[in-house]
Amino acid sequence: MNPIQHSVRLGVRRGWLETRQNLTNAEDLFNIFLFPALFVIAMFFMRNAKLPGTEFSLGAATVPSVLGASIVFSGMLGMAGVLAVEREDGTLLRAKATPNGMFGYLVGKVVTVSAGTVIGILLVLIPSLFLFDGIAPGGLTSWLGLLWVLALGLLATLPIGAIFGSLTANARSIGLIMLPTTGLGAISGIFYPITALPEWLQYIGQVFPMYWLGLGMRSALLPDSTVLVEIGHSWRTWETLGVLAAWAVIGLTLAPVVLRRMARRESGSSVAARREKAMQRIG
């Protein structure tokens, strides 16, 4: 086994261990269940509303949109938050000190964040299947569609999250990323069709992955009758594939460069300086 394979193996093992620890810690479990529960409750109260121009439940139509948005919030922001926190507490510096340590560390974080994202999606999807009718009408085809959107969505968002986590000065700066991301959710057709928005906002929403992740999930999990509320009355599958693939290429191209530069700047003195500033704020 060469060093890279060994690092991948250790990274995967570390990722699964961290996932197991998260599932046995009360605080982590609360965080894992909180937002899926809030989303399910919100969609439950929307169940009697109708998707404009159809007889389909707005609550059921919102389910796949929320699943797509979860990939951005849990995947991208999750990766950014983990890197920012562990950069500040010196974990990255310790990983850097071992052969291929940064590579193995990143593999582990990809496994942990991806597992957390999948768990969050299941916590929304499983109860929704019992609460709403008409989800996944295509059977196996619907589930295969969900899987390819999920896989490509993680590939498109995790590297971007790693870039944000590397560029932030400290963990508190993640809030500056979360605010515009939340605003982006409002114009990405998550809780209401994007076609109800002004045309210029529709164009902005279509630049970013969240809209396309929601659209891809809707195309997989909703009946064809609901396509009437989409732009151009089409699921635009090839466009979804192209935009998400483009974001994946951008992220995978830039992330290694940014991560290497961040790793080179890490030192014992920089970690100590950040720790001292944190203590001053606490004091």
Q: Which pLDDT tens digit goes with each residue over 9-37?
A: 888 999 999 999 988 888 888 888 998 99
Residue 227 lies in a domain: yes
Residue 162 domain-assigned? yes
**Integer-rounded Cα radius of gyration of the chain:** 20
In-domain check, residue 271: no
In a domain, 156, yes or no: yes
User: Of residues 194 and 88, which shows the higher confidence score?
Assistant: 194
| pLDDT reading at 122 higher than 90 | yes
Within a domain: 40: yes
Find the domain containing 146 and state its range: 3-265
Confidence (pLDDT) at 83: 86
Helix, strand, or coil here: 254? helix
Residue 283 located in a structural domain: no
Give the chain's domain count. Answer: 1
**CB count in 10 Å sphere of residue 25:** 12
Instruction: Flag whether 63 is in a domain.
Output: yes
For the ranges 16-25, 64-73, 135-144, 271-280, which has the lowest average pLDDT? 271-280
Q: Round to whole Å and give the CA distance between 202 and 94.
A: 45
Residue 104 and residue 8 in contact, taking contact as beta carbons nearer than 8 Å: yes
Helix (H, G, I), strand (E, B) or coil at 222: coil
For the cut 80, the answer to whether the pLDDT of residue 90 exceeds it is no
Average pLDDT score over residue span 60-84 = 91
Residue from 177, 248, 182, 236 nearest 212 by CA: 236
Q: Is residue 174 part of a domain?
A: yes
Q: Are residues 113 and 158 in contact, defined by beta-carbon separation less than 8 angstroms?
A: yes
Q: Report the DSSP beta bridge partners of residue 50.
A: 57
Length in residues, the chain: 283
Reported as a single tens digit per residue, the pLDDT across 131-183 is: 998 899 989 999 999 999 999 999 999 999 988 888 886 767 777 788 888 88
Q: CA 133, CA 163: separation in Å to the nearest integer?
A: 40
CA gap 259, 166 in Å, rounded: 6
Q: What residue type is 41 in one-letter code?
A: I
How sure is the predictor about 53, in pLDDT bands with cuts at 50, 70 and 90? Answer: confident
Residue with tokens 């951008």: 250
